[in-house]
Every structure is written in structure tokens, then in C-alpha cells.
Chain A
């Protein structure tokens, strides 16, 4: 089945850029997503990218997709303490089971002063 992997932890200083990485195995993925989960809350969609794109920028967020290597990354510019959270990448494909998201294990981002 599909598999999505992320590193568990990332620590950065306030004001630096954060880069959270994700790898996936499903070559037929059509959409890939980044979600954020703050303590005691559900998952909040940050951004998503269609598989025929290789980059998407939205204010401080930049998503890079390398479809050949099945690698997705999320860059947060000028990281703030409010960005401390768990970040999940997820993928879906349309060929069978199109309304299922496969999530990674999540990367806990800690922003230090």
C-alpha cells in the first residue's frame, strides 16, 4: 500500500527558515497536502499541490515537489513561535480509493527564541 514518511522532529531559531521533508511511495499520487496540528486541536490544511506542478508559493510557505524522487517539502520563511506545531504531509490518488488521504507520521517543529 501507499506509504508516506517524515522525520519526527525539527528545531529552528525564530526568524530562520524551516524546511520539512516528506517522501511517499505512490507514483500515482495526484494531490499532495500539508496540514498543521497545534496542541489540543485538529488538523488544519495549510496548502496543497497538484502533481503536475513542481512549486507553489503562498505567503511564507513554499511547497516543492520532486515527482521523480517522490519528495515533497514545505519551507516556512521567517519562522515564528506560533509556527510550533506538528506538520503532516498527505497524499491522495484518483485511481481507486480516491477519497482516502494517506498521512505521514508528522514532523514536530519547535521554534526557539
Chain B
């Protein structure tokens, strides 16, 4: 148990569906992240939130829409996805300060399949 909980663990959706992934951290961290992990590709950083403010959007298509209502919760809203969006979506959190040390704690991920 890392203190970062992701739901659901598995999700199958059609290309016209709308769904949301949820992430919750109980570690008192101030930064949260969404990553995409596809087979045989490096981990891709999608979004970064510091103190609930989005500080990074790595050219992610608009069919992925993040939301961070507070520093403990992070959502990823999904709309009209493509089959190539099927992947493991990982959430992470960290306590980011000024030292540069950034230990990120990961959830178990949501395995997404787009049909």
C-alpha cells in the first residue's frame, strides 16, 4: 500500500463513451501526476499539478481532461478515446520542495481498454 489509490483498476470503454479515472492520495503531498504506460514505450508524463494548479501538459490530446479539485484528489476525464489510448494510466504524488528531491509515490494504475 503506497498511500495512493486509483479507481477503477480496470476499465473497458467504447470510443463514444465518457468515463473518469480517479486518484486519491493520503500522504499530505502537494503535487500530483498522471502518466501513461504503453507496452514497449517509456513512461509518458501527461499532466502535473502543484498545489492544485496545472503546471505541465505534455501535448496531451484534448480528449483527456484532468481535474484537481484539491491537493488530495486527481481525476482524468476521458471522452471519445481511440484504440491507441489503451494503456495503463498511473497516478503519482510527491512532496515537492526546493531541494530538487522529488520522490513520487505511485498508485497501482487503471488498465484501460478502448474498443
Chain A positions within 8 Å of B, measured between CB atoms, are: 30-31, 33, 35, 40-45, 48, 50, 88, 92-94, 97-101, 103-106
Contact = CB atoms under 8 A, between A and B. Distances in A.
B102 interface: yes
Contacts of B98: 94
Contacts of B48: 99-100
B108 A42 contact: yes
Contacts of B102: 31, 92, 98-101
B94 A99 contact: yes
20 contacts: A30-B100, A31-B100, A33-B103, A41-B108, A42-B106, A42-B109, A43-B43, A43-B104, A48-B103, A88-B43, A94-B98, A98-B102, A99-B31, A99-B55, A101-B45, A101-B102, A101-B104, A104-B42, A106-B42, A106-B43
Interface string B14-56: 0000000000000000010000000001110100101000011
Given A42-B107, A94-B99, A103-B42, 19 more contacts: A30-B101, A31-B101, A31-B102, A33-B103, A40-B108, A42-B90, A42-B109, A43-B90, A43-B104, A44-B2, A93-B100, A97-B56, A98-B102, A99-B55, A99-B94, A100-B45, A100-B48, A104-B42, A105-B41
Q: On chain B, which size bracket covers the interface? A: 20 to 34
Contact of B109 (A41, A88, A103): A41
Contact of B106 (A44, A99, A104, A106): A44
Nearest to B100: A94
A98 B96 contact: yes
